[in-house]
């Protein structure tokens, strides 16, 4: 698996929070759920995304906005509107007066807000509720706000998600999770392939004849006992030259990159209860469960067993590279 495939494979929602919201202007939501990543898809009308220290960004009908947490942000009908409702970490909705309106504003299956009338704003939202559902490497390189205009989407996924959210069929949660993943992947592909949008260093480094080959080897043969010297010999360059060139183009040394990739793979494998931690350690290139546990706890803040049990509150959420806003070409 190459670096790009590995990145795009990482979004795997598990019971994502999905909701269709209906509002009549003026309206405003303050999002303080501390979720690692959310998508906002405008079906009708428009909204403004307000973030501290950044210019307001308008999202129109058909646009898809990817919002990286855990920092709060605000969605309003107009930048001058003050949000009247706050969404907390349990996805509960409270007015500025402290009234819980989570249930009282319910409009049916996965639909919430105000009774619809002409000119209403209709927005779909999908929220990944834990960092491991997205992948730390992806979260670390995403801009704070990524917007794919309707004209750049070229996909029926938005319409499919809207239809499925109104249903309560068998296995509906799984269907919605996978549609959300595919919609996110579609936006990510556009972002990575469009020049000048700030794609991560390692993505651009793949085109380098030396570092690109080194990345390919680390991804395809991650379980081998690599050293900088053996990797350098495999790509036909000196150890010092590879270390310098790799770090310059990728942003971290080769062995640090390999550790991150191995732990990403381990995180995926830990979702399978049929695999032992010892077996996972061997598969991803560690000498045994103790070595994997040491590396995992150092990087993730929890042991592999705690991670498997869902004890991720100790884990420091991955922070994005900066507070950039990226709007893809229309």
Closest CA to 218 of 248, 253, 268, 185: 253
Quote the tokens at residue 160.
């499919």
- How do residues 270-323 score in pLDDT, each as one tens digit? 888 899 999 999 999 999 999 999 999 998 888 999 888 876 444 444 555 567
Both tokens assigned to 34: 């501390």
Predicted confidence (pLDDT) per residue in 300-309, tens digit = 888 999 888 8
Residue 198, pLDDT score: 73
Residue 244, pLDDT score: 95
Phi-psi region of 234 (alpha: psi -120 to 50; beta: other; left: phi over 0): alpha
Rg from Cα positions in the chain: 21
How many other C-beta atoms lie within 10 A of the C-beta of residue 159? 11
Q: Which of 195, 201, 188 is nearest to 146 (CA)?
A: 188
Residue 72, by phi and psi: left (phi above 0), alpha (psi -120 to 50) or beta?
A: beta
β-strand pairing of 28-31 with 85-87: parallel
> Measured between alpha carbons, how far is residue 193 from residues 103, 128, 183, 197, 204 in Å?
42, 24, 16, 9, 10
* Beta-sheet strand order (sheet of 64-68): 106-108, 111-113, 17-23, 121-128, 37-44, 64-68, 145-148, 325-327
- Summary count for the chain: helices (H), strands (E): 13, 14
Q: Rounded to an integer, what distance in angstroms lies between the CA atom of residue 73 and that of residue 94?
A: 16
The pLDDT value given to residue 239? 96
| Residue where the block lists tokens 């546990």 | 293
Which pLDDT does position 317 carry in this prediction?
A: 47
pLDDT for res 313: 41
**What's residue 193's pLDDT?**
79
What's the rounded Cα separation, in Å, for the pair 71 and 4?
A: 26
Backbone phi, then psi, for 131, in 5-degree steps? -55, -35
Q: Are 318 and 140 in contact (CB under 8 A)?
A: yes
Q: What is the pTM of this model?
A: 0.79
pLDDT at 314: 42
Which residues in the chain show pLDDT less than 70?
Answer: 1-7, 311-322, 330
d(CA 112, CA 109) in angstroms, rounded, equals 8
């Amino acid at each position: 698996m190459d670096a790009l495939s590995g990145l795009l494979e990482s979004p795997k929602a598990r019971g994502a929070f999905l909701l269709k919201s209906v509002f009549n202007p003026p309206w405003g939501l303050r999002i303080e759920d501390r979720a690692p990543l959310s998508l906002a898809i405008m079906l009708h009308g428009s909204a403004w995304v307000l973030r501290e220290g950044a210019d307001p960004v308008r999202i129109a009908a058909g646009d898809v906005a990817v919002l990286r947490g855990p920092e709060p942000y605000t969605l309003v009908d107009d930048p001058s509107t003050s949000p009247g409702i706050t969404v907390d970490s349990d996805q509960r909705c409270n007015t500025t007066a402290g009234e819980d309106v989570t249930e009282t504003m319910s409009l049916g299956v996965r639909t919430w807000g105000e009774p619809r009338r002409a000119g209403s704003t209709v927005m779909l939202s999908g929220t990944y509720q834990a960092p491991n559902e997205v992948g730390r490497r992806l979260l670390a390189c995403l801009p704070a706000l990524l917007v794919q205009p309707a004209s750049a989407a070229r996909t029926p996924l938005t319409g499919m998600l809207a239809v499925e959210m109104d249903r309560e069929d068998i296995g509906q949660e799984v269907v919605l999770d996978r549609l959300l993943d595919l919609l996110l992947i579609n936006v990510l592909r556009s972002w990575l392939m469009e020049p000048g949008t700030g794609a991560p260093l390692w993505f651009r480094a793949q085109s380098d004849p030396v570092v690109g080959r080194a990345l390919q080897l680390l991804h395809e043969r991650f379980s081998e006992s690599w050293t900088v010297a053996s990797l350098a010999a495999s790509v036909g360059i000196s150890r010092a030259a590879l270390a310098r060139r790799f770090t310059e183009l990728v942003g971290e040394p080769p062995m640090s990159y390999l550790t991150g990739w191995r732990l990403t793979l381990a995180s995926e494998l830990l979702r399978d209860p049929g695999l032992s931690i010892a077996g996972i350690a061997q598969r991803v290139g560690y000498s045994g469960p103790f070595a994997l546990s040491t590396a995992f706890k150092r990087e993730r803040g929890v042991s592999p067993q705690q991670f498997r049990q869902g004890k991720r509150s100790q884990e420091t959420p991955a922070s994005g590279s900066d507070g950039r806003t990226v709007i893809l070409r229309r």
